[in-house]
Amino acid sequence: MFLRRTSPARAASVALLLLLCGLAPPGASAQRARRQAPPDRPRTRSENPREVNTPPRVGGVPSPREVLGFTPGDDRKLADWTQIRNYFDRLDRESERVVVHQIGTTTLGRPLVVAFVSAPENIRDLEKYKDIQRRLADPRLVRSDAERDRLIMDGKAVVAVSCSIHSTEVVGSQMSMQLAYELAAARDGATLEVLRNTILLLIPSANPDGNEIVADWYRKTLGTPFEGTEPPELYHHYAGHDNNRDWFMLNLRETRAITRLFWKEWFPHVVYDVHQQGQTGSRFFIPPFHDPPNPHLAPLLLREVGTVGHRVASDLQAAGFRGVITNALYDMWWHGGFRTAPYFHNSVGILSEAASADLMTPVQIKPEELQRASSRGMPTALPKHPTINFPDPWPGGPWRPRDIRDMELVAARAVLSHASEGRARLLRNFYEFGRRALDYPPADSRDPVAYVIPAGQGRDENLSKMVGALVEQGVEVQRMDTELHLSHTSRDARDAHETPSGSYLVFLAQPYRTNVQALFERQVYPDRRTASGEAERPYDVAGWTLPMQMGLEVLPVVGIREPERERRLTPVRSEDDVRRDLGLAPRRGDASPVRNPLARPVRLALYKSWTASMDEGWTRFVFDTFNVPYTSLRDREVRAGNLRRKFDVIVLPSMRAREIVEGRASERAPAEFAGGITEAGVEHLRRFVEEGGTLVCFDASTELAVKRFRLPVRNVLEGLKSSDFYGPGSILRVVVDTAHPVARGMAREADAYFIQSQAFEAEEREGVRVVARYAGKDEVLRSGWLLGPQHLAGRAALVEVELGRGRVILFGFRPQHRGQTWGTFPFIFNALSR
Ligand SMILES: [Zn+2]
């Protein structure tokens, strides 16, 4: 979810949205203390229909309890990454059904691991099954129908289960140990059959750094008034919650390692991503998802996703669990999440969202506290009448980590049983998705056969990053070693234009064709409204077209004059190939090879709040990627003042003024982390500018400078209702004053990321300069959804305002959104070295 909003008029829906996916709404802490359930109240069988299966030690397999001293899911017990790894190492050594591989290291240097769980004979033959998967994933490697049938007969259903990518959604990682144990120790016929038919790739934590951060914080605060609160830092070093928004961009080490495992090596048929949501909604969400679907998804794939989900829901119901919802909240439009990337790799991706406790602390939810507001697919959390998608609402009561664990265990077992029983069908469908992707375009259509990224655009780092990311996720890209004549509009060779050698071609006839389409085409989000005419908010962003974000020209190729035998094309195998082709510095180890682009050195500070802003993290990521040195600026230092003596430039990431000024509420954090920059800090920032400093504000933080410094600028979007104006993550066109120093190196038109961002009316006067404006209302939307474009058309998008001897640079849009918008990074670097 993306969560930063700007308009107070939309505050109500924000509060609702904050309930999703593990983030507590503001003020939830006030209810927390009274919600926490007594620690040792005995449970009745009806409250906990599934007893944890703890068979006696079998074949030398130790239970988590034997190793950890507690059962995963016990109240107030949280295993950290060292303990979890230690447990999986024991299984690796002591069970023939489990082998653990390290697949990479995390951002902070910890090992990232996957446990393969299957029958011993499968575990001994993993290479054979990996080879079968590789062939089924690419039907060009299968020579005949007979070979296909043999591969399907011999192959295993490959299922991936990944836990707690969102580290405060903490129970999944704990559950993973119990799941592995139950599978390793089982002696019953049903489980043995599942183990024979499936290979489970179990990722105990997709974000081990976060697991440690949360475990440390939880232990530190256990027994204090802050028990169960969120830590005062991002649980992924750069991305925080957005670590699950990185699955086509591959900015993060964790995403890259898992992408390689999944989409270059093992091609899982089903990917199950285990999450938690807020406390007061349904107890458990499972697909089918809500509308709208991405138009590139095969209808059969949509059905398969629904089929797995219904199986899980049905098994949960059979086990006596209440409060399971389907067809709600989470949609299938967006690309970029753990469970959405599989769709663009011909696989079934699902997630579950269990209601949260306070980390590992149980809570008590009264019926009247259950969510009353209507959300997509759910009128309330306790409706008067059951519905088909929510037939058995939960009435409130105690809610414990073990309730979450038990639902997740049943869900994971249901996914495995489903894959085991439908093994051959899953494999056949998977192969067919790939085969149909290759059979493209239809002979009589004018659909493109390829996309071309023409050489000579002068943005070589952008090109290297984009092609590198595509290749890393299994997309086939080829370098043109000679010029070719390409037609962009028709199959007619006479329309063809000469395209230089060194350009890159991405053909659509490849197994991951839908991935290419979903990344290269512009998104046209359907105009969806609620009954009252308000915009119905998408689950995540509405538009993400990759070349637009990267600021690269990419053209469709409808025809190629040269016949195939005359084309000289070299497949690109890695980003290194591209860097070599373009003469860029080679990548050495983990250090970023990108040159610092600042025109002159500056003493740069980036404001870092204890509220843990994802936008701050992504800004840091961009600075680190471009080797731009900076200092993190904490509230204490802002409050102390004298900023100009230390810094030339201060950057405020996208945060509301109130969040910056007030920080974390004192009832939500120990004193050292509570409070923001305060009014004194606002005054120090103003003095910093007046004394010659440059203050750079991204998106929401412009509010602080505009209002507190009384700049001659106004956000014209403030207060508009979502029935009038709405832009939930879209790419917009801006028109640039290329003469302005902040626009150095930019073209007259650029694509900028807008996510409920700002548009300014700026007084034309001495000391106020508009660097970029939103384009006219018919041209401004490039990709995504924009309701009411006339409200921002022609308004200022990027403004420089002089104040005293310094200046404030106001970015209305989000120039560094999720580290993806390379096309607008030059604005940032110019602003810093102005
Ligand atoms: Zn989540």
Q: How far is the CA of 274 from the centre of ligand 1 (A)?
A: 8
Q: Is 430:347 a contact under the CB 8 Å cutoff?
A: yes
Q: What is the model's pLDDT at position 36?
A: 57
Q: What is the model's pLDDT at position 4?
A: 33
What does the pLDDT look like over 211-236, one tens digit per residue? 999 999 999 999 999 999 999 999 99
Mean pLDDT of 739-763: 97
CA distance 379 to 658: 32
Q: How far is the CA of 338 from the centre of ligand 1 (A)?
A: 10
Place of tokens 């290479």: 127
Q: What is the model's pLDDT at position 19?
A: 39
Q: What is the model's pLDDT at position 7?
A: 37
Q: What is the model's pLDDT at position 494?
A: 82
Q: What is the model's pLDDT at position 464?
A: 98
Q: How far is the CA of 166 from the centre of ligand 1 (A)?
A: 5
Q: How far is the CA of 510 from the centre of ligand 1 (A)?
A: 32
Q: What is the model's pLDDT at position 589?
A: 85
Q: How far is the CA of 64 from the centre of ligand 1 (A)?
A: 25
What does the pLDDT look like over 128-176, one tens digit per residue? 999 999 999 999 999 999 999 999 999 999 999 999 999 999 999 999 9
Q: How far is the CA of 654 from the centre of ligand 1 (A)?
A: 21
Q: How far is the CA of 772 from the centre of ligand 1 (A)?
A: 36
Q: How far is the CA of 76 from the centre of ligand 1 (A)?
A: 21
Centre a 10 Å sphere on the Cβ of residue 383 and count the other Cβ atoms it contains: 13
Q: How far is the CA of 244 from the centre of ligand 1 (A)?
A: 8
Q: How far is the CA of 590 from the centre of ligand 1 (A)?
A: 28
Place of tokens 């309330």: 380
Compute the mean pLDDT over every residue in the chain, rounded to the nearest whole number. Answer: 93
Selection from 827, 824, 810 nearest residue 695 by Cα: 810
CA distance 236 to 289: 27
What does the pLDDT look like over 760-816, one tens digit per residue? 999 889 999 999 999 999 999 999 999 999 999 999 999 999 999 999 999 999 999
Which residue(s) pair with 633 in the sheet?
Answer: 607
Q: How far is the CA of 573 from the centre of ligand 1 (A)?
A: 32
**Cβ neighbours of residue 61 closer than 8 Å, sequence gap 6 or more:** 91, 94, 95, 181, 184, 185
Q: How far is the CA of 258 from the centre of ligand 1 (A)?
A: 17
State whether the Cα torsion 513-519-524-528 is positive or negative: positive
What does the pLDDT look like over 30-49, one tens digit per residue? 344 445 554 444 343 344 44
Q: How far is the CA of 22 from the centre of ligand 1 (A)?
A: 6
Q: How far is the CA of 722 from the centre of ligand 1 (A)?
A: 26
Q: Where are the alpha helices (DSSP H) in 642-729?
A: 643-646, 657-662, 678-690, 702-703
Q: How far is the CA of 542 from the centre of ligand 1 (A)?
A: 19
Q: How far is the CA of 717 from the centre of ligand 1 (A)?
A: 30
Q: How far is the CA of 277 from the centre of ligand 1 (A)?
A: 7
Mean pLDDT of 185-207: 98
Helix axes 81-94, 171-185, angle to 10 degrees: 10
Q: How far is the CA of 21 from the centre of ligand 1 (A)?
A: 4
CA distance 620 to 816: 10
Q: What is the model's pLDDT at position 43?
A: 40
What does the pLDDT look like over 284-310, one tens digit per residue? 999 999 999 999 999 999 999 999 999
Can you give the pTM of this predicted structure? 0.94
Q: How far is the CA of 165 from the centre of ligand 1 (A)?
A: 7
Q: How far is the CA of 370 from the centre of ligand 1 (A)?
A: 20
Copy the structure tokens of residue 727. Answer: 């832009």
Q: What percent of the chain has pLDDT over 70?
A: 93
Cα 656 from chain centre: 22
Q: How far is the CA of 13 from the centre of ligand 1 (A)?
A: 19
**Cβ neighbours of residue 234 closer than 8 Å, sequence gap 6 or more:** 240, 612, 613, 614, 616, 617
Q: How far is the CA of 618 from the centre of ligand 1 (A)?
A: 18
